[in-house]
Amino acid sequence: MIFYVLAGLIAAVVTFALSFVIWKLSSRFRLYPKIRERDVHTTPTPRLGGIAMFLGILVAMAVASQVSWFHLVFADPGQITAILSAAFIIVVIGVADDIWDLDWLTKLAGQMIAAGLLVWQGVQLVTLPVGGVTVVPPILGLVLTVIAVVAVMNAVNFIDGLDGLVAGVAIIANGVFFLYSYILARVVGEAEYFNLASLLSAVLVGACVGFLPLNWHPAKLFMGDAGSMLVGLLMATSAISVTGQVDPNSLDSGRILAPAFIPLLLPIAVLIVPLLDFSLAVLRRLRAGKSPFSADRKHLHHRLLDMGHTHLQAVLIFYAWSAVIAVGCLLFLFVPIAWVLAFLGIGFAVCAFFTITPLWRKSFAARARGAHPDQVEEIP
């Protein structure tokens, strides 16, 4: 565990230092775009934080490659090279988009190239933990991997609309996923004790921790598309490296069946909030006859603000929902299902209460003014 913590700490320190430098340089040379209609912030803010995050991750991986305990992770240099090369492509595409506002087809092409590079070097779904171990045909595995990577990158990118939102959600999600992959390594066998999924999760948590101080509201620096797509890429990569390689029977404790499905459920659980927002956005835009990648101001975080939440409250609500779902899914490995369901039920109730509280306040205020509750402004 200590080596993972050190790798994450290196990523955090390097990311924080470089984020500070990039913020200063961007402010000095006015390297920031104009405020768009859908933006929540009112002050022009640099969007190049993704560069610092990428370099922090790169340095942490380079240091880890020199640690003998991680020799199994770097035994296949092709996979590591493919992951870092894909990350570089995504950062370049993201920076170009943050500066010149690329069209969605160009961005999608870059995302597919990055995902294809991963598949080319063997980072893809080989099996699915359904009905034991189901071997995925190579072509199907290729297609599913590319779709999953592109979907996760866009899902994370879509929720990047509030200060500290993506960084915080990524810390929660990858922290939970790190614990899962670390525990899994101990269960499956000592040979897998140091594994790619755990290392990627650890350095990504570190990079997000290092970036968050400058991204906390009011943000001095945004991660931009480069950062949000980088977070999505590495989250998808770590999830695929676990989901496609583990035998679910090794997790079945004999008490309940749920642990056998954790390799499939947990990657979805830790990404449930961005995936939900992504799905709703795509359906909303297609129904309106627009491109699924066209921008609008109807994301979940926009709706929370429209409900009456402050910026900080909206971010904390996202954190709470992400934590309850991800931790609840992980608890299946440790406690009886009744306790897990109780945790999820209480967690959902508490999150729902704080989510809709502004609507109650508006209703009470309307009653106090003598207005009919139906006259309270509805959320679009």
Q: What is the mean pLDDT of the chain?
A: 85
pLDDT in tens, 321-378: 999 999 998 888 788 889 999 999 999 999 999 999 988 877 777 677 765 555 544 4
Going by C-beta distance under 8 Å and a sequence separation of 6 or more, which residues neighbour residue 349? none
For the chain, give every domain's residue range: 2-375
pLDDT in tens, 178-212: 998 888 777 665 445 578 899 999 999 999 999 99
- If you average pLDDT over residues 88-112, what whole number do you get? 93
Residue 206 · residue 58 · CB < 8 Å: no
In percent, the amount of the chain with pLDDT more than 70 equals 85
* pLDDT of 190: 46
* pLDDT of 49: 96
Residue 124 · residue 118 · CB < 8 Å: yes
Residue 59 · residue 210 · CB < 8 Å: no
For the ranges 81-95, 135-149, 310-324, the lowest mean pLDDT is seen at 135-149
| Alpha-carbon gap, residue 135 to 141, rounded angstroms | 9
- If you average pLDDT over residues 278-287, what whole number do you get? 87
* pLDDT of 188: 60
| Alpha-carbon gap, residue 189 to 128, rounded angstroms | 20
